[in-house]
Structure 1
Amino acid sequence: MHRFIVVGGGAGGLELATRLGDRYGGRKRKSAQRALVTLVDRYPTHIWKPLLHEVAAGSMDPFTQELEYPAQARWHGFEFQQGELIGIDRAAKRIMLARVIDDDGAEILPARELEYDTLVIAIGSTTAFFGVPGAEEYSIALDTVEEAERFRKKLIAACMRAEHQVHVTVQDGPDTSPESEPRIQIAIVGGGATGVELSAELRNTAQVLSAYGLHKLDPSHDIGLVVIEAGPRILPALQERVSSATAELLRNLGVKLMTGERVAQIAPGFVRTASGKTVRADLTVWAAGIKAPSVLSRLDGLPVTKLGQLVVRRTLQTEADDDIFALGDCAACPWPSHDGNDRKVPPRAQAAHQQASFLLRAFANRLDGRPLPEFTYRDFGSLVSLGHFSAVGNLMGGVIGGSMLVEGLFARFMYMSLYRLHIAALHGYPRMMLDTVAHWLRRTTLPRVKLH
């Protein structure tokens, strides 16, 4: 049987493995089974990465949203192998996985090699610190659930610590701190979607923590939020009118925007910009950019771009090997335009979803010995969530035949629908609807923010 290996259990990789397993994998009768499908990931569970800012703000409990890969594999007819990709032997058509160790350093699984006929690399992206001094050491990047949870706990601790200090000051004598200075200041480096969405969620978190008595600080005054963006405006990848509408909404929430300020140094307690400004920061989040994982540049001669992405053709095959495909953030896929500009498919969840659906069709051709089609990306627009306050974005292309700015309740509904469509791709629409109801019931019996 044909051996498919999908490396990376993110939005695109997990969707592809699930649908390949449903179509060709172990759920079929042995006589009808046409392929062995294996998913590889270094973690045992999956969470939709666009939700990590909600985990960091405490508005989502990750343990209620995580999907266990072995369970998904059992339900959908594929195999799961935990391990981190460390190499490829293209001649022998094998991938090498590092050993898996537990928190105490004990080995769980040894280093292994897996053989493939068709390999799909979908390992996503990692945080790019751009060599800024102190960025890795003194800021938190929301790349994993563990990092998001670490930030949430540090936020709650900072609020409780600041409230105690205010109490001691008032008990011992008059409070002489300037009224304009917040008790806690959170600096978010990067005005892209992650930084903007996190700032709005944190404003809501501050209000909820106060309501539940974890601190008696004024959530709108005593907890300051600063977004620092090197470009002339926030959301530089989106249309200017979307950026302007979002900036106005954030200012109304009391979020300070510093645009045109490139961060030059991060140290404990402050952020310094290239123009010489110093921003006090009790907590610093780094959301200033992404890069391809460094392992891609060491994969047996597969060409990569300056950003470290695998160079693929419009069939999503790598330039050097027809048996190796790549999708999502780690792939530099051409996006032809009518004006002749050399563009690449942007690193968005909708692109990974479209590429997973494309490869499902393409692999049917591959198994039947027919030529592969070419992938065409369709931009349906972008949406940015501002928590329960609002959402803003633009709908484009096939949705309305043009471009339209959307905001408010309708945009919020559209944003929430994106995650529900991801759940439907993994479980089908009936289970997605049940999951939606179960999620709503949980929200009625739990606080809006995780408090511990």
Structure 2
Amino acid sequence: MTSTSLHRIVIVGGGAGGLELATALGDKYGKSDKFRVTLVDRSRTHIWKPLLHAIAAGSLRRSQHELNYLAQAHWHHFHYRLGEMVGLDRAAKTITLAPVIDEEGREINPASELGYDTLVIAVGSVTNDFGTPGAKDYAVPLETPEQATRFNRRMVNACLRAQHQHSPITPGQLHVAIIGAGATGTELAAELHHTAREIIAYGLDKIDPEHDLKIVLIEAAPRILPALPERISQATLKLLVDLGVEVRTNARVAEVLADGIRLADGQIIPSELVVWAAGVRAPDFLKEIDGLETNRINQLVVKPTLQTSRDDDVFALGDCAACAIPGYENNIPPRAQAAHQEAEFMLAQIGKRLAGEPLGEFQYRDFGSLVSLGKYSTVGSLMGSLVDKSFMIEGYFARFMYNSLYKMHEAALYGRGRTLLSVLSGSNRPKPTVKLH
């Protein structure tokens, strides 16, 4: 910490954890002339990442769930800086921001440096394609709302193309291959089964959804949802198979082609649309940035205090942080519930830091896992501190619990009272009076 009168708290990354922390810190310290809270993000708006599969499928409108950073900063007394962090100088306590260029090639913000006294890195994760040939060229990842919107547009265009072409629909033309059967890939498969048929129902009578449309879910592990309990995996598999989704397990992708994918055994799966939803890693710029310790997937190694292992003034939380769980081999999983808990912990942690008190140690509470399968079902398990051991839930109760996770995120951003009022009245969340993005 510095001896200057103004303590600069900089949060890089406006995902679930970063934005919740910036909002809470702004509410607590933003009006004081002794503190300055700044959120840095390369995007202008925020969307809760677990919603991206629904945006990609077209079952959720992006505009209804976007939060504008500039408006949120105004309402909650923190500062928002449009930009992308590309460097760090720990000795000078500055981060480097890349220039911001608009769609027409004009510079919005020049390259710059931003000073900090307390730095929190919460830049999330990106898709890990493991260097698979063709993945970057032909597969669409689901990391951002823009990518989800791009996939949805490609899917609608594929249906329109099939409707208006003079030649018959060819095998693979309206096929969707989803690589990775974790939560994102599995949820997308179920959503697409419904929404693609909804698109076709709007007068695209040349397309037979039962014959022409096909969804293939591909997983290298022996079962889908490999990180979740086997009971959830089996229940989800049965539902997908009943819907007609083709599920391939023990199938490793060797190459993504322009019109399909090639498996390691040489088999070709024709597909016009390919989604890569297998594996995550922290952004490449974090790899050993200015001497900070990182692991094999670029995550910043942190102590139980969430301070990075080599610099007590730099914290990390969320998907970009490698935080060990005492008594377990694995680190805290990259889930929204983990980022939410870490943001709450960091609010108290920064308060202790500013008061010169000893810092606490983060304890992760696993409340279970939930998978939304669109309008068909929701399945999951509750565990951790709620009960002595996990138990499986499904149906309406599971859907209620799944929606509750999002409401917890909204409550952290808008306040519990406003969130409850919106649930009871069905009204929309607060929005700026003018378009800011």
TM-score over 0.5 (shorter chain): yes
Please state whether the residue corresponding to 1:37 is helix, strand or coil: strand
Which residue is 1:332 aligned to?
322
Is the 8 Å Cα contact of residues 8 and 39 (structure 1) preserved in structure 2?
yes
Following the alignment from structure 2 to structure 1, what is the Cα–Cα distance between the partners of residues 149 and 297?
A: 28
Is the 8 Å Cα contact of residues 193 and 243 (structure 2) preserved in structure 1?
yes
| Structure 1 residues 124 and 441: alpha-carbon distance in aligned structure 2, compared to 1, 3 A threshold | closer
Which residue is 1:354 aligned to?
341
Could you tell me which amino acid in structure 1 is paired with residue 142 of structure 2?
L
Which residue is 1:317 aligned to?
307
Q: Which deviates more, 374-383 or 209-218?
A: 209-218
Query: 377, 399, 411: which one pairs with 2:386?
Result: 399
Q: Which deviates more, 125-134 or 206-215?
A: 206-215
Alignment of 1:168-183 (within 5 A): 169=168
Q: 1:441: how far off?
A: 8.2
Please state whether the residue corresponding to 1:108 is helix, strand or coil: strand
Q: 1:438: how far off?
A: 7.1
RMSD: 1.8
Return 5+ residue gaps in structure 1 as ranges. 170-174, 443-452
Which residue is 2:12 aligned to?
7
The answer to whether the aligner puts 1:422 opposite 2:422 as a matched pair is: no
Query: 197, 202, 221: which one pairs with 1:212?
Result: 202
Please state whether the residue corresponding to 1:232 is helix, strand or coil: coil
Could you tell me which amino acid in structure 2 is paired with residue 261 of structure 1?
A
Following the alignment from structure 1 to structure 2, what is the Cα–Cα distance between the partners of residues 132 and 438?
A: 48
Is the 8 Å Cα contact of residues 192 and 236 (structure 1) preserved in structure 2?
yes
Could you tell me which amino acid in structure 2 is paired with residue 350 of structure 1?
Q
Is the 8 Å Cα contact of residues 226 and 257 (structure 1) preserved in structure 2?
yes
Alignment of 1:152-231 (within 5 A): 152-165=152-165, 169=168, 184-231=174-221
Query: 21, 25, 37: which one pairs with 1:20?
Result: 25
Which residue is 2:296 aligned to?
306
Is the 8 Å Cα contact of residues 83 and 100 (structure 2) preserved in structure 1?
yes
Alignment of 1:33-432 (within 5 A): 33-165=33-165, 169=168, 184-337=174-327, 341-432=328-419
Following the alignment from structure 1 to structure 2, what is the Cα–Cα distance between the partners of residues 39 and 220?
A: 48
Could you tell me which amino acid in structure 2 is paired with residue 374 of structure 1?
E
Could you tell me which amino acid in structure 1 is paired with residue 316 of structure 2?
A
Following the alignment from structure 1 to structure 2, what is the Cα–Cα distance between the partners of residues 41 and 182?
A: 39
Q: 1:214: how far off?
A: 4.1
Is the 8 Å Cα contact of residues 185 and 281 (structure 1) preserved in structure 2?
yes
| Structure 1 residues 299 and 182: alpha-carbon distance in aligned structure 2, compared to 1, 3 A threshold | closer
Following the alignment from structure 2 to structure 1, what is the Cα–Cα distance between the partners of residues 326 and 252?
A: 32
Following the alignment from structure 1 to structure 2, what is the Cα–Cα distance between the partners of residues 431 and 90?
A: 40
| Structure 1 residues 413 and 41: alpha-carbon distance in aligned structure 2, compared to 1, 3 A threshold | same
Is the 8 Å Cα contact of residues 182 and 221 (structure 1) preserved in structure 2?
no
Is the 8 Å Cα contact of residues 209 and 215 (structure 1) preserved in structure 2?
no
Is the 8 Å Cα contact of residues 392 and 406 (structure 1) preserved in structure 2?
yes
Aligned length: 424
| Structure 1 residues 98 and 406: alpha-carbon distance in aligned structure 2, compared to 1, 3 A threshold | same
Q: 1:440: how far off?
A: 7.4
Following the alignment from structure 2 to structure 1, what is the Cα–Cα distance between the partners of residues 266 and 96?
A: 47
Please state whether the residue corresponding to 2:388 is helix, strand or coil: coil
Following the alignment from structure 2 to structure 1, what is the Cα–Cα distance between the partners of residues 426 and 293?
A: 43
TM-score (norm 1): 0.90
Name the % identity.
Answer: 56
Following the alignment from structure 1 to structure 2, what is the Cα–Cα distance between the partners of residues 95 and 439?
A: 42
Is the 8 Å Cα contact of residues 159 and 215 (structure 1) preserved in structure 2?
no
| Structure 1 residues 188 and 5: alpha-carbon distance in aligned structure 2, compared to 1, 3 A threshold | same
Please state whether the residue corresponding to 2:391 is helix, strand or coil: strand
Q: 1:310: how far off?
A: 0.4
TM-score (norm 2): 0.93
Please state whether the residue corresponding to 1:394 is helix, strand or coil: strand
Which residue is 2:435 aligned to?
none
Following the alignment from structure 1 to structure 2, what is the Cα–Cα distance between the partners of residues 363 and 280?
A: 52
Please state whether the residue corresponding to 1:422 is helix, strand or coil: helix
Following the alignment from structure 1 to structure 2, what is the Cα–Cα distance between the partners of residues 162 and 53?
A: 24
Return 5+ residue gaps in structure 2 as ranges. 1-5, 430-437
Could you tell me which amino acid in structure 2 is paired with residue 78 of structure 1?
F
Q: 1:97: how far off?
A: 0.7
